[in-house]
Amino acid sequence: MMKRELVIIGAGPAGLAAALAAYDNGIRDILIIEREKRAGGILNQCIHDGFGLHKFKEILTGPEYAYRYLKKVQERKIEIMTSTIVTELRAEKYLKVINEEIGILEFKADAVVLAMGSRERTAGGISLPGERMAGVYTAGLTQNLMNLQNIKVGNNIVILGSGDIGLIMARRLTLEGANVKAVLEIMPYSNGLNRNINQCLIDFNIPLKLSHTVIDVKGKDRLESIIVTEVDENLRAIPGSEYEIECDTLILSVGLIPENELSKQADVQIDDITGGALVKDNLETNVPGIFACGNVLHIHDLVDYVSDEAENAGQAAAKYIKSGHKWRKNNIFVEAGDGINYVIPQLITLGKDLEFSMRVKKPASDKTIKILNNNELIAKNTFKKVNPSEMIKINLAKEKLLSLKTASIKVVVE
């Protein structure tokens, strides 16, 4: 059993940023555990640009963004244990890990930061009908095969789901000579950033078909065609609207799921909406000394926001370690009200200025997001457009919290 002050699970953008923040706040005994052979997480396969404008005031590729943080981690001589899988995490901050060279190791930490990221929904996860022939991939797997392994996945391609990875891969596949016939989206609006719709679809004349989905796949050894249908406002297939598209590849870009199996082992409470942990404003979970940040907490649209959030988690973990494990108790509950899908954090104290991260339920124009206490307005922010694909951030000064009449606040869209 090895003792460490801080163990961070995951060496992606969240884990690296949390480690740097903890180090710069006085913690030196830090271990980052990463299951892949190299640090950087999903950024290593994101060779497109669009990263870093918020953090570095310049546009970087994914590997360039990861390198900026990895270099700082290396300069501080923070230990990263790669090719290592955490198989067990307990509430008392005990970890069991397997390293492919060393074998089984056990750690007891003063604090743990969860930064495991997310995984993709698969064909089984969305109950895609039909046989399981070759030619059906997730968007992230396609990105890995093409960008890291130089493997072309197909020639005539349809993408189901308009998430950002799917949109980016539509462009990437087109640039490599594939024929992307369409991007299908079951919702009446896209789930990707507007810039990606413009740069990846419109610029390449790739059609985006909203309120469409796949109801069958055909082929023996390899995919040959798919059956597509329009759906109504209840997302049910409209009889008579079915048609067939010939293709040899179907790529699924149907959402990400926070990777929280280890969190559940440690009795971390999970939010039914986000799929991530319920956290206080310091990003601490219900388990004292276990913090969460990045896509394991909730799915982000910008990696810059992941880094910001992870820095807060690293600072909070450092404070927890240095305070002798004494920490504030939550006393205010945050409710996602009308039009709001979720709000992070879900529990807050009165100790500092706050930044809320949230997503709306549907696209709209000229909307005001209000923060209410006992039905009285304490803060508001007006937006020309709101979209579920784009995270909204609203700040609330601690002075506003001091005048609360009840132990809860509600965030609504009007």
Output the pLDDT for position 398: 82
Output the pLDDT for position 84: 98
Output the pLDDT for position 329: 62
Residues of the chain with CATH 3.50.50.60: 1-120+255-327, 122-254
Output the pLDDT for position 325: 63
Angle at alpha carbon of residue 109, lines to 257 and 280, rounded to 5°: 50
Q: What is the pTM of this model?
A: 0.94
Percent of the chain with pLDDT over 90: 86
Q: Which fold has domain 1-120+255-327?
A: FAD/NAD(P)-binding domain (3.50.50)
Average pLDDT over residues 332-351: 91
Is 101 within 8 Å of 76 (Cβ atoms)? no
Output the pLDDT for position 327: 54
How do 79-81 and 30-33 pair as beta strands?
Answer: parallel
Residues of the chain with CATH 2.60.40: 329-414
Q: Which fold has domain 329-414?
A: Immunoglobulin-like (2.60.40)
**Which residue type does 169 have?**
M
Contacts of 57 (CB under 8 A, 6+ apart): none
Residue whose pair of structure tokens reads 């995270």 in the numeric block: 391
The better pLDDT of the pair 289, 330 is held by 289
Average pLDDT over residues 335-359: 90
Question: pLDDT tens for residues 282-327?
Answer: 999 999 999 999 999 999 999 999 999 999 999 999 999 998 766 5
Beta-bridge partners for 335: 410
Contacts of 392 (CB under 8 A, 6+ apart): 357, 358, 359, 360, 369, 383, 386
Flag the least confident range among 2-6, 135-139, 182-186, 406-410. Answer: 406-410
Question: pLDDT tens for residues 197-223?
Answer: 999 999 999 999 999 999 999 999 999
**Predicted confidence (pLDDT) at residue 405 exceeds the cutoff of 80:** no
Question: pLDDT tens for residues 133-148?
Answer: 999 999 999 999 999 9
CB atoms within 10 A of CB 257: 16
Q: Which fold has domain 122-254?
A: FAD/NAD(P)-binding domain (3.50.50)
Is 303 within 8 Å of 69 (Cβ atoms)? no
Output the pLDDT for position 403: 76
Give the chain's mean pLDDT. Answer: 94
Q: Which of 303, 185, 302, 310 is nearest to 255 (CA)?
A: 185
Question: How would residue 406 be classed by pLDDT, with cut points 50, 70 and 90?
Answer: confident
Output the pLDDT for position 328: 58
